Structure 1
């Protein structure tokens, strides 16, 4: 007996609409199906997968862990399918809206100056850019590309390394005139160290001591900032000592607004910057591929 044909993309779409609507009946109205047809389709999908996707109760539907994973994968699959169809119809010309999320320093000092060149090269692409140091979920925020600093933790995302920045400790001349210049790591005990108000992968500033051994100096200060650009501005204003990527403050150092400190104890650690995205290969939308290639070509850290 022939195996009945399975419309997998149709099943995924129905499942996503049920999760979005919160019930079989609401999803059925949106899909112009009967509630029983929607219920049978979800039951058939669960049977074929051998996993319960939705926990049903009299009040609401709730995703199981397997259902949550299938929801994420299904969202990505349908997005890739839509993009593939649009590109096939348009001859794979990069076009459409590109949603980009970037951490603030990179966005202000690298991304924004480059965007006019990108849009001139690809006039059929429009960009929606959000600058924030908060780590977002690309699927929830419907972002195409996120640019992040530091180590990556999300294995489901594909990453493209854009470069690395050497870290440097800096302060404004006005701060050093008022508080003195630290020449040893012990001298930091008498200074105001600017901190980030969110968790970092290293709880303190890494240095090497006089013998070359690694050491972490705890951050002690009275000002916490939400992003690297705010920290740069606070340092320029004389609020305290900061530790940032050299590319972020190189113009300020050249102009004398900031002064490098404790370079003899700098461990030479590098902070990587990656562009992360969902999907890869032939399923990657042309607009995303064009943007990633452009960043790899133009970004210098």
Structure 2
């Protein structure tokens, strides 16, 4: 019989039960086996090992010196196996560090408010959160999850949709009182249009005309910004026009702090928010738990 065909752990457990019970019958009852099966299994072990483990009498079993040594080793091995199983089972409970990289607006408005609830639900997860609107490499930044807006890039990455929202042009009532309300895309030539400074967002603002044709208006303004939250604050302060995802400025619009503009010329463009993470055969429970939580709790769009 090959070693692969021998259930060594099972044999050790049977032998240990026999020693604990002091007889085959007691071990058989504990293991739901017959005394004959237990006796034959111990005999096979002795034959394979080439050593007598037990001295048998009509009333009791006694360990031989070899059996005593083997029994001690069996106890250690079985204890180690039980401990290993407990550690692996405990590993299925979400615990450990989770590094999250989020854009500034999504982090400020949608991620950080959820942290207390997430921490209460998974107290053994340690969150490491970085907010930046720059596109990051998950491997280089050692991030487990990146929360990002826009098209996905990276064949080795997986993504979970968290929500979506259309894009709107907004300005504060104060700015509009001083500079007038743009009624058509052509009117933007007379307004301060704020732009983002990172490469992926540098470009004209698209609009759709009543006849269905599409036009693009170059961004003309005196400031470029590196994150959406800074642009939102300048828009609130009356510095100029901003173009945001609705999920970023919906509360400001509802409160009258910002006014949506040129809605009749909207292209209907939608920005999709994803939780992006690296693929692999097995995802650590801590990362899966956070992704599932974000997909369930984030209210975007």
TM-score by length of 1: 0.69
Partner residue of 1:110? 110
Partner residue of 1:155? 155
- Structure-2 separation of matches of 1:285 and 1:90: 12
Partner residue of 1:198? 198
- Structure-2 separation of matches of 1:237 and 1:113: 24
Question: Does 1:178 pair with 2:178?
Answer: yes
Write the deviation string for residues 43-95 of structure 1: whole angstroms up to 9, x where unpaired: xxxxxxxxxxxxxxxxxxxxxxxxxxxxxxxxxxxxxxxxxx99725241100
Q: Contact 2:195/2:224 (CA < 8 Å) preserved in 1?
A: yes
Partner residue of 2:288? 289
Q: Alpha-carbon deviation of 1:153?
A: 1.6
- Structure-1 separation of matches of 2:140 and 2:91: 29
Secondary structure at the aligned position of 2:275 is classed as strand
Structure 2 unaligned residues grouped into runs of 5+: 1-84
Secondary structure at the aligned position of 1:90 is classed as helix
Secondary structure at the aligned position of 1:146 is classed as strand
Q: Alpha-carbon deviation of 1:200?
A: 2.4
What is the number of equivalent residue pairs in this alignment? 216
Q: Contact 1:195/1:225 (CA < 8 Å) preserved in 2?
A: yes
Q: Contact 1:193/1:240 (CA < 8 Å) preserved in 2?
A: yes
TM-score by length of 2: 0.69
Structure 1 unaligned residues grouped into runs of 5+: 1-84
Change (3 A) 1:161 1:252: same
Q: CA RMSD in A?
A: 1.7
Partner residue of 2:229? 229
Q: Contact 1:169/1:262 (CA < 8 Å) preserved in 2?
A: yes
Secondary structure at the aligned position of 2:199 is classed as coil
- Structure-2 separation of matches of 1:168 and 1:222: 20
Q: Alpha-carbon deviation of 1:284?
A: 0.5
Change (3 A) 1:87 1:201: farther
Q: Contact 1:166/1:271 (CA < 8 Å) preserved in 2?
A: yes
